[in-house]
Structure 1
Amino acid sequence: MAAPALGAQEAAAAAHMLSLPAEAFGNDPNVEMVWAVKAYQHAQVYFNLISSVDPKFLKLTKADDQIYSDFRKRFSDLKIDVLDSEDMKSGPAKEKWRPFCLQFDGVVEDFNYGTLLRLDCSRGYTEENTVFATRIQFFAIEIARNREGYNSVVYDSAKEANLGTEVVSSG
């Protein structure tokens, strides 16, 4: 799933398109493609970040403490290391997520924008390991994964791979 790189002109056009109201587009496939590229680029940046910096020390938003606290109050039993997509997509799950998400309107920029979320936090973004989520759902789950140490497996694996590369290149 390699995303094409956007040049300066394409990025400016994409930003302009994304700033228009949804009603202006109907079901325009160009908008869907721009969204998909942007979501995939966000996913790549995030995965690279948790591969390079110990996730326990990351701060994703200004409201991390509030997001984490409210998330764990409402979803104390949610298994976050390997998500079940039904915990995000089923009717009862959507009813539980809706009030959680809406409380961050005006607190977290673009809280309801679509983003990609890994189901199994020990693996990367692949078609089988990715689910569509709102940005606030992404933040809630990834902040919890970072604070609770679940994303450390990505960081540790990347660190080990880099050490192996350094040994090979220096030997």
Structure 2
Amino acid sequence: MEVYFKLISSMPSTTGLRLTQNDDIIYQTFRDRFKELDIKSLTEETLKCDEAKIKWRQYCNDMQENVEDFNFATLLRLDSRSDYSESNTIVVPRVQFVAIEVARNREGLNDGLNELFK
């Protein structure tokens, strides 16, 4: 995750950054199913409450062919404007990390990190 953060914090804009060859389907399916999810600043509750677990489990299973090692534990930043830290990190399946970070990149939420973390 350190490598990923160094990458996104070195670019003025991440809107064109691709994480996988399947970013388009991952993003479209994610936004179709999680229209209201505020990915700028997440909480553990929004990701791990019972209702969210059901939706995420179905999404992860449906996307398993699109993300290599889709269920490997991966660190996700809760607040898109902050670095990885103990208070800003949660462990999620890799496919969940990819979906949220692809969306953050496409929606411009990771833009400008290069100015914040010079």
Residue 61 of structure 2 is aligned to residue 109 of structure 1: no
Q: Which runs of 5+ in 1 are unaligned?
A: 1-42, 162-171
SS of 1:111's partner is: coil
- Deviation, structure 1 residue 156: 3.3
| Residue of structure 2 in register with 1:67 after alignment | 26
- Deviation, structure 1 residue 153: 3.1
Q: Which has the higher helix share?
A: 1
Which one of 67, 81, 104 corresponds to residue 145 of structure 1?
104
Counting aligned pairs with the same residue, the percent is: 49
Q: CA separation in 1, counterparts of 2:9 and 2:66?
A: 28
- Deviation, structure 1 residue 55: 1.1
Matching residue's letter, 1:71: F
- Deviation, structure 1 residue 56: 1.1
- Deviation, structure 1 residue 51: 1.2
Q: Which runs of 5+ in 2 are unaligned?
A: none
Q: RMSD between aligned alpha carbons?
A: 1.1
- Deviation, structure 1 residue 89: 1.0
5 Å-filtered alignment, 1:92-171, equals: 92-158=51-117, 161=118
1:68·1:144 contact (CA, 8 Å) conserved in 2? yes
Matching residue's letter, 1:49: L
| Off by >2 Å, runs of 4+ in structure 1 | 155-158
5 Å-filtered alignment, 1:14-53, equals: 43-53=1-11
Q: CA separation in 2, counterparts of 1:110 and 1:100?
A: 15
SS of 2:116's partner is: helix
* Larger Rg, first or second structure (1 or 2): 1
SS of 2:90's partner is: strand
SS of 1:151's partner is: coil
Taking structure 1 as the reference length, the TM-score comes to 0.66
